[in-house]
Structure 1
Amino acid sequence: MSGREGRFDELARLGVATVYEASGRQGLIDEDFVQLIPGTAVAGPARIAVCGPADNRAVHEAAARTRPGDVVVLTMDNPVPVAVVGDLLATQFKAQGAAGLLINASVRDADTLRELGLPIWARWIRVRGAAKAHRGTIDLPAVVGGTLIRPGDAVLMDGDGAAVVPAQRIDEVVAAGRAREAKEAKAREQYLAGGLSYDLHGFRAADEKGSP
Structure 2
Amino acid sequence: MIYGEFAEAGVATVYEACGRRGLLDVDLVPLRPGSRVAGPARIALCGQGDNRAVHEIMTHLRPGEILVLTMPVAAPVALFGDLLATQALTAGAAGVLVNAAVRDSADLAKLSMPVWSRWRRSTGATKDIRGQVDVAVTIGDTEITPGDVLVLDDDGATCVRQSEVDSVALAVRERLAKEDGLRRRWATGEFSYDAYGMRAEDGS
Alignment TM class, shorter chain as reference: over 0.9
- Indicate the residue corresponding to 1:34 in structure 2: 29
| TM-score (norm. length: structure 2) | 0.98
- Indicate the residue corresponding to 2:62 in structure 1: 67
Report the CA distance between 1:117 and its aligned residue: 2.6
> What's the CA shift string for 1:133-160, capped at 9, x where partnerless?
0010000100011100000000110011
Unmatched runs of 5 consecutive residues or more in structure 2 = none
Read off the aligned partner of 1:132 and give its amino acid letter: K
2:47 to 49, 52, 55: 52
Does 1:95 pair with 2:93? no
Read off the aligned partner of 1:147 and give its amino acid letter: T
- Indicate the residue corresponding to 2:189 in structure 1: 194
Read off the aligned partner of 2:72 and give its amino acid letter: D
- Indicate the residue corresponding to 1:3 in structure 2: none
| TM-score (norm. length: structure 1) | 0.95
Aligned-pair Cα RMSD in Å: 0.8
Read off the aligned partner of 1:16 and give its amino acid letter: V
Report the CA distance between 1:178 and its aligned residue: 0.9
1:118 to 113, 123, 148: 113
CA contact (8 A) 1:81 1:105 kept: yes
Does 1:163 pair with 2:192? no
> What's the CA shift string for 1:152-175, capped at 9, x where partnerless?
000110011000000010111111
Moved over 3 A (4+): none
CA contact (8 A) 1:37 1:117 kept: no
Distance 2:59 2:119 in 1: 24
2:142 to 131, 135, 147: 147
Distance 1:117 1:193 in 2: 39
Distance 1:39 1:108 in 2: 20
CA contact (8 A) 1:91 1:116 kept: no
Distance 1:194 1:74 in 2: 46
Read off the aligned partner of 2:165 and give its amino acid letter: I
Distance 1:166 1:116 in 2: 28
Distance 2:192 2:76 in 1: 43
CA contact (8 A) 1:51 1:134 kept: yes
1:132 to 122, 127, 144: 127
> What's the CA shift string for 1:46-102, capped at 9, x where partnerless?
000000010000000111110000001100011110001010001100000000000
Distance 1:109 1:42 in 2: 21
Unmatched runs of 5 consecutive residues or more in structure 1 = 1-5
Report the CA distance between 1:7 and its aligned residue: 1.3
Distance 2:149 2:15 in 1: 12
Equivalent residue pairs, number: 204
Read off the aligned partner of 1:101 and give its amino acid letter: V
% identical equivalent positions:
51
